Amino acid sequence: MTASAELAGPRVILVLTADTGGGHRAAAEAIRQAVHRRYPDELATVTCDPLTGAEANRSVAWVCGRYGPLVRDAPWLWSILFHATNARPLRPILESLLRRFVSAPIAAAVARHQPMAMVALHPLLAASAAALRSEGTAAPALMTVVTDLGSAHRSWWQSPADRVVTPTAELSQQGRRFAGTAPDRCDVIGIPVRAEFRPGPADPTAKAALRRSLGLDPARFVVLVIAGAEAARGMRMWTRTIVNGAADVDVVAICGRDQRLRKDLERLAARSPRRLTVTGFVDNIADWLRSADVLVTKAGPGTIAEATSCGTPMLLAGHLPGQETGNTEIVVRAGAGRAVHGRRELLRLIEDLRADPARVSRMRAAAARLGRPTAAAEIADLLAQQALRKEFR
């Protein structure tokens, strides 16, 4: 880097994300942390939320604000919307609307911060950012980081993107097929997770210490129940089933931002002293994952990325139709978890695991092999290549 560039200060990376579910927020924070940790003097990140942020179009923000209640209370309707906008003729209409209403906040952020690169962490933002690249103006280079796992909306794939990062080779091939992305511009890295997940699984001594710090009994079999930042319809049933049906396990339920669910489960905890711990949104989810013997959850890609980084076995009791289709199969195929169909199977699997520590250890090792705790650091290095040495193309 030249002396004049050094005097100009850090190069800016514009991180495009949206407050629709916890996964996009977590991925944005993971990349921000990694860039700051690895390139504190050379690079700086600026986060922009053109869908739900302060500068978002009001109508767009209102629609996107319905995402949480929709996927929690009417997943069938979300499935219809996902598949309808994922196919012609509606997908081109959707992307045209995005260019009209969402590209403006991105263009304003580009003009204000003069970034060297943009990184899109949401399919709707990938399309809008790509529109700037297509205009032939002096738009910054664009990296798309796909935060889905088994399947992905086609709006992720945009031919103007300079680089596409995916969690699996299958999704990388999909990007090449739909957008014509050259193989040398596709990187199979993983879903970025925050710095607290980088150490990986806890050894037995560290796990016991973590449990004591969290108020858990180191000697008990602990089942952690979560369903993402917005929670999910099934979480109430999963927790009640385990507390009422599994006699010799302790349960921790993390309810995210769902206050109604938290209050309901707190009433159950009052009737089940010392067996059920209930919390709302927490910022130390890595500690809870490392402390658990098994995680009961839906097959959200962010949750899977975090759990596998901590080596936590999973019982996947559901998935959101659309972008979460196929996630369970990936986990089961790797030996890191099991699919659950109904209450009886949930109880049976928990009882089987509690009685078979060797099986839990095998699943824990398989989960750790599937995890990519260094993904954010690898993405930060790619961004540095782009912003500092202009090596993307």
SS (H, E, C) the chain: CCHHHHHCCCEEEEEECCCCCHHHHHHHHHHHHHHHHHCCCCEEEEEECCCCCCCCCHHHHHHHHCHHHHHHHCHHHHHHHHHHHCCCCHHHHHHHHHHHHCHHHHHHHHHHHCCCEEEECCHHHHHHHHHHHHCCCCCCEEEEECCCCCCCCHHHCCCCCCEEEECCHHHHHHHHHHHCCCHHHEEECCCCCCHHHCCCCCCHHHHHHHHHHHCCCCCCCEEEEECCCCCCHHHHHHHHHHHHHCCCCEEEEECCCCHHHHHHHHHHHHCCCCCEEEECCCCCHHHHHHHCCEEEECCCHHHHHHHHHCCCCEEECCCCCCCCCCHHHHHHHHCCEEECCCHHHHHHHHHHHHCCHHHHHHHHHHHHHHCCCCHHHHHHHHHHHHHHHCCCC
Which structure tokens are listed for 96?
């045209």
Long-range contacts of 346-349 (CB under 8 A, 24+ apart): 346/238, 346/241, 346/242, 346/296, 346/315, 346/317, 347/241, 347/242, 347/245, 347/246, 349/315
The strand pair at 43-48 and 11-16 is best described as: parallel
Torsion of CA 53, 56, 60, 65, to 10 degrees: 10
From CA 189, how far away is CA 186, in angstroms rounded?
Answer: 9
Look up residue 324 and give its amino acid: E
CB 315 within 8 A of CB 349: yes
Which structure tokens are listed for 61?
């923000």
Nearest to 145 by CA among 131, 286, 162: 162
Quick count: other Cβ atoms within 10 Å of Cβ 264? 17
Question: What does residue 142 show for φ and ψ, rounded to 5 degrees?
Answer: -125, 125
From CA 53, how far away is CA 200, in angstroms rounded?
Answer: 33
Nearest to 142 by CA among 113, 164, 170: 164
Question: Tell me, what's the pLDDT at 6?
Answer: 45
Under 8 Å CB-to-CB from 289, ≥6 apart: which residues?
224, 295, 306, 307, 310, 312
Task: Record the pTM.
Answer: 0.90
Quick count: other Cβ atoms within 10 Å of Cβ 278? 21
Question: Tell me, what's the pLDDT at 1?
Answer: 38
Which structure tokens are listed for 353?
């695991």
The tens-digit pLDDT sequence of the chain (393 residues) is 333 344 467 899 999 998 887 788 899 999 999 999 999 999 999 999 998 888 888 888 888 888 877 877 788 888 888 888 888 788 888 888 877 888 889 989 999 999 999 999 998 898 888 888 776 556 788 999 999 998 888 888 888 888 999 999 999 888 888 777 777 888 999 999 999 999 889 999 999 999 999 999 999 999 999 986 555 668 899 999 999 987 789 999 998 878 888 999 999 999 887 789 999 989 899 999 999 999 999 999 999 999 999 999 999 998 888 888 899 999 999 999 999 999 999 999 999 999 999 999 999 999 999 999 999 999 999 999 877 765 544
CB 322 within 8 A of CB 389: no
Question: Tell me, what's the pLDDT at 136?
Answer: 59
Angle between helices 343-354 and 357-370 (to 10 degrees): 100
Question: Tell me, what's the pLDDT at 216?
Answer: 94
CB 197 within 8 A of CB 367: no
